Amino acid sequence: MKSRRSFIQQVSLTAASIPVLNILNATTMNTSINDDKILRVAIMGLGGYGTRVAEAMKDCKRAKLVGVISGTPSKITDWQKKYNIPEKNCYNYENFDAIKNNPDIDAVYVITPNGLHKEQVIRVAKAGKHAICEKPMALNAKEGQEMVDACKANNVKLLVGYRMHFEPHTLEIIRMRNAGEFGKVLFFQGLSGFTIGDPTQWRLNKALAGGGSMMDIGIYSINGSRYMIGEDPVWVTAQETKNNPQKFKEGVDETIQFQLGFPGGAVASCLSTYSMNNLDRFFLNGTKGFAELLPATGYGPIKGRTNKGELEAPVVTHQTVQMDAMAGIILNNEKPVVPVDGEEAVKDLKIIDAIYEACKTSNKIELKL
Residue 299 pLDDT > 80: yes
Check residue 33 and give its pLDDT.
42
Could you tell me the sign of the dihedral formed by the alpha carbons of 4, 145, 255, 218, in that order? Answer: negative
Between CA 105 and CA 107, with CA 106 as vertex, the angle to 5 degrees is 100
pLDDT tier, 334 (very low <50, low <70, confident <90, very high otherwise): very high
Check residue 300 and give its pLDDT.
85
Q: What proportion of the chain, given as a percentage, has pLDDT over 70?
A: 90
Domain 164-315+342-366 of CATH type 3.90.1150.10: no
pLDDT tier, 111 (very low <50, low <70, confident <90, very high otherwise): very high
> DSSP H helical segments within 58-167, as ranges?
73-83, 114-126, 141-153
Between CA 218 and CA 92, with CA 72 as vertex, the angle to 5 degrees is 90
Check residue 36 and give its pLDDT.
58
> What is the CATH T-level fold of the domain 4-163, as seen in this structure?
Rossmann fold (3.40.50)
> DSSP H helical segments within the chain, as ranges?
4-12, 18-27, 48-57, 73-83, 114-126, 141-153, 168-178, 206-209, 218-229, 318-332, 342-361
Could you tell me the sign of the dihedral formed by the alpha carbons of 86, 88, 89, 90, in that order? Answer: positive
Residue 270 pLDDT > 90: yes
Q: Could you give the CA distance from residue 314 to residue 171 in angstroms, rounded to a whole number?
A: 11
Q: Is 274 a catalytic residue?
A: no
**What backbone phi and psi angles, to 5 degrees, belong to 350?**
-65, -40
Residue 1 pLDDT > 60: no
Q: Could you give the CA distance from residue 255 to residue 44 in angstroms, rounded to a whole number?
A: 30
Between CA 6 and CA 256, with CA 197 as vertex, the angle to 5 degrees is 105
From 118, 129, 135, 347, active-site residue: 135
Kind and range of the H or E element at 30?
none
Q: Is 242 a catalytic residue?
A: no
pLDDT, tens digit (0-9, with 9 covering 90-100), for 143-170: 999 999 999 999 999 999 999 999 999 9
The DSSP secondary-structure symbol of 71 reads S
Mean pLDDT of 67-77: 98
From 220, 227, 274, 356, active-site residue: 220
Residue 28 pLDDT > 80: no
Higher-confidence residue: 364 or 8?
A: 364
Q: Which residues contact 60 (CB under 8 A, 6 or more apart)?
A: 320, 323, 324, 327
Q: Which residues contact 185 (CB under 8 A, 6 or more apart)?
A: 177, 229, 230, 264, 266, 284, 285, 286
| Three-class secondary structure of residue 355 per DSSP | helix
Domain residue ranges of the chain, discontinuous segments joined by + = 4-163, 164-315+342-366
CA dihedral defined by 217, 218, 221, 222, rounded to 10 degrees?
-130
